[in-house]
Amino acid sequence: MLYIVATPIGNLEDMTFRAIRTLKEVDYIFAEDTRVTRKLLGHYVIKNIVYSYDEHTKQHQVANIINLLKEEKNIALVTDAGTPCISDPGYEVVDEAHKNNIKVVAIPGASALTASASIAGISMRRFCFEGFLPKKKGRQTLLKQLAEEKERTIVIYESPFRIEKTLRDIETFMGKREVVIVREITKIYEEVLRGSTTELIEKLEKNPIKGEIVLLVEGQQKGGNKYVDDTD
């Protein structure tokens, strides 16, 4: 069985009981960064050996993992932080597992995407997730395409070194938008910055920020992605 295990994105108290038990019980753990994962396992006294599964090793590791699963071994896949397969390596091995009729089980937990969305204070009834924007090639083309998003909120992961440029590019190719920056989510210096692209550009020029960033861009038609729903 293949377990897709979410791990904390900053605060170790966000690890679930089920995730700890699963990581203790599986035969093998595959991780995006073995060094990061070993530290996490050490904190919870989990002694399983960790093997690498990242962009550089996944081509040959997919076959290895599938072979182990066919031998009825239990395997957990984790990422550096958060939920695997969301803007991280992993979907390829999940795809192969399904094709081979191997059961895949989600062990849900922390996700920077959903955690940031929950405290942004803008409608997430409809949204699109872009992960990290291209640094150069295809960047302008993608932003022009996203400019057509009139109603859905756009969610982007960004680096503190590029956030100001990204805000400028959004304003250039998508027009002035209301945006929310959530940085260092679940960590000591967690912060939420809200305002127009122009306002936040000015703010960051005076006070640059550090840490991991989730950027939420509100739809051009403010409030257009809201609808009445009586379900919880």
Residue 231 has pLDDT above 70, yes or no: no
User: What single letter denotes the amino acid at residue 67?
Assistant: N
Q: What is the mean pLDDT of residues 150-179?
A: 96
Tens digit of each residue's pLDDT (9 = 90 or more) over 50-69:
999 998 888 899 999 999 99
Domain with CATH 3.30.950.10 in the chain: 112-217
The pTM of the full predicted model, rounded to 2 decimals, is: 0.89
Mean pLDDT across the chain = 93
Q: List Cα–Cα distances, 228 to 99, 153, 202, in angstroms.
A: 39, 17, 36
Q: What percent of the chain lies above the pLDDT cut of 70?
A: 95
Please give the CATH architecture assigned to the domain spanning 2-107. 3-Layer(aba) Sandwich (3.40)
The reported pLDDT for the residue numbered 220 is 80
Tens digit of each residue's pLDDT (9 = 90 or more) over 92-149:
999 999 999 999 999 999 999 999 999 999 999 999 999 999 999 999 999 999 999 8
Classify 77 as helix, strand or coil.
Answer: strand
Domain topology for 112-217: 3.30.950
